[in-house]
Chains A and B, each alone.
Chain A
Amino acid sequence: MSKIWNSYRYLILRRFVQIGILVLFFGANAWGWKILEGNLSSSLFLGTIPMSDPYAVLQMVIAGAVVASDLLIGVAVVTLFYFLIGGRAFCSWVCPINMVTDSANYLRRVFDIDRAQLERQPIKRSARYWVLAISLIVSAFMGIAAFEFISPISMLHRGIVFGMGFGWAAIGLIFLFDLFVLKNGWCGHICPLGGFYSLLGKFSFIRVHHLEENCTLCMKCKVVCPEKQVLHMIGKESLPVLSGECTNCARCIEVCDDDALEFSIRDLIQNKKTGE
């Protein structure tokens, strides 16, 4: 039992947080709960603290919207949290699409699709920054928030809270794309929100840290990591994972049998380094 807990503790916590947030949103709409109202685009926590999607508001402002102060406060709250603390944690701890793409990824491992597609990756991971840039340009030219009108993330969380319609089709598309076309296709290559948080979360405090002396080079962490380029130091150097593309999902920490990976605080790491 404790072995299962040890190797899945963060995964269980993440699912608890992801589903819990959706349940609170759903309850607010269906039963009038006042804990977390709205959806992931913009919400109200405990009826007082506003939270808003900074990427959505950025698009809106570029499109020429004059937004109210509530929204800007909400943006400040979310931005500060991920910038200072969470990093790109939105993607693995909050975003409901994460459950869709994680399950596609799990099936890829079960059916060994990874091995069959080893050499062919049709899209680069930098594509998401292109999509991010295009979304802002299109927003400016079309005068509306471009990604917000096609976002499958919004379709899913809004669908769960307010009604799905044909949104399932978009979710199914992502699932099949990730399963058969490209490993970590949506979250790791295309999603501009992920790209946005990669840039925003680059300097946050919470970081995964690698201890090279414990590493036995089993590479389980790299198999399970959805952004495995961020783990370039495995077995080479004791370094923190400093890439903004790391989602702090902590799967690498729990699959490691040798305590070679752990969470730590950025500042403490540096202090230790200068102290040595």
Chain B
Amino acid sequence: MAKGVGYAAVGGFLWSAYLDETKASPLILRPPAAIKEDDFLKTCIKCGLCVEACPYDTLKLAQPGDHQPLGTPFFTPRSTPCYMCEDIPCVPVCPSGALDESSVTTNGHLDINTADMGLAIVDENSCIAFWGIQCDACYRACPILDKAITIEYDKNARTGKHAFLKPVVHADACTGCGMCEHACVTEKPAIFILPREVAMGKAGSHYIKGWDKKDEARLKDAHAIHTTTKVSRQKAVDKLNGGLEGLLDE
């Protein structure tokens, strides 16, 4: 019995350590409507019904050797992006709730434009449009063209007579489908998808855009934080009521 408990403890710790390592893969891209990564790992039963429903073979189940949490669905946009089907066949088939249909539903209809698989990031150093070479491959490939990616015009001071046509990604519209990454002409893509958790910073709630009415409205019910405590008040009263004893002791 004692020997069994010993083996069990050792095994349990090794097992836990392994699981902790597998869980730590922040760069994985999930199907549309996937719940938060932490909950996703708990909830996905790895049945592959989403993979079977995907008409483009975008989704794969992680195999041993993929270095991703085993058996869970993911996609690699550089090889096959999400083509953003309007009927989102991969989501309603999910039996476990790891893909949450309500998160891609607006007014009772499935709406793939509200999906959030990740966010496109442009590396301005390797993007040839930022060098001054004309390329709008990502902009043209974007299924939410002119909303998720726009082209910003700028003067090319080096030549003095040409324009830069720089792609700019807008985080509020980008779904992370990866069609831009798929289309990018550079050897290693200069625009690529990262999970939002990884790609985005966070300003914190104490910064408010004063010029934005909606953001400014957050101040409406704001009030100062009072830090007086009952204990400190009571102590002072007790001291005054305590009379003069002790004062003249010395």
Binding site for B on A (CB under 8 A): 28-29, 32, 37-39, 41-44, 50, 52-53, 56-57, 60, 63-68, 70-71, 74, 130-131, 133-135, 137-138, 141-146, 148-150, 154-155, 158-159, 161-167, 169-170
Contacts and interface: CB of A to CB of B under 8 A. Distances in A.
Contacts of B43: 60, 65-67
Contact of B65 (A65, A158, A165): A165
A170 B64 CA distance: 9
Interface string B32-47: 0000001101110111
B15 A146 contact: yes
B20 interface: yes
Contacts of A37: 49, 52
Interface of B: 4, 7-8, 11-12, 15-16, 18-20, 22-23, 38-39, 41-43, 45-49, 51-52, 60-61, 63-66, 69-71, 93-97
Contacts of B66: 165
Central interface residue in B7, B52, B60, B95, by most chain A CB within 10 Å: B95
B95 A158 contact: no
Contacts of A137: 12
Contact of B70 (A28, A155, A164): A155
B219 to A, nearest CB: 35
A56 B4 CA distance: 24
Contact of A68 (B7, B12, B18, B95): B95
A165 to B, nearest CB: 3
B47 A43 contact: yes
B20 A142 contact: yes
B15 A150 contact: yes
B41 A144 contact: yes
B42 A143 contact: yes
A130 B45 CA distance: 23
Contacts of B15: 134-135, 138, 146, 150
Given A39-B46, A66-B97, A134-B12, 12 more contacts: A38-B47, A60-B43, A66-B43, A68-B95, A130-B7, A130-B8, A146-B16, A148-B71, A159-B63, A161-B48, A165-B66, A166-B65
A29 B51 contact: yes
B60 A163 contact: yes
B48 A158 contact: yes
B51 A134 contact: no
Contacts of A39: 46-48
A65 B96 CA distance: 9
A131 B11 CA distance: 9
A141 B19 CA distance: 11
Contacts of A66: 39, 43, 97
A131 B93 CA distance: 32
A141 to B, nearest CB: 6
B46 A154 contact: yes
Contacts of A52: 45, 47, 95
Contact of B63 (A50, A135, A167): A167
13 contacts: A44-B49, A44-B95, A68-B94, A68-B95, A135-B15, A138-B16, A148-B71, A150-B70, A154-B71, A155-B71, A158-B71, A162-B61, A165-B64
B61 A138 contact: no
B63 A169 contact: no
Nearest to B66: A165
Contact of A155 (B11, B18, B64): B64
Given A71-B97, A144-B19, A149-B69, A65 B51 contact: no
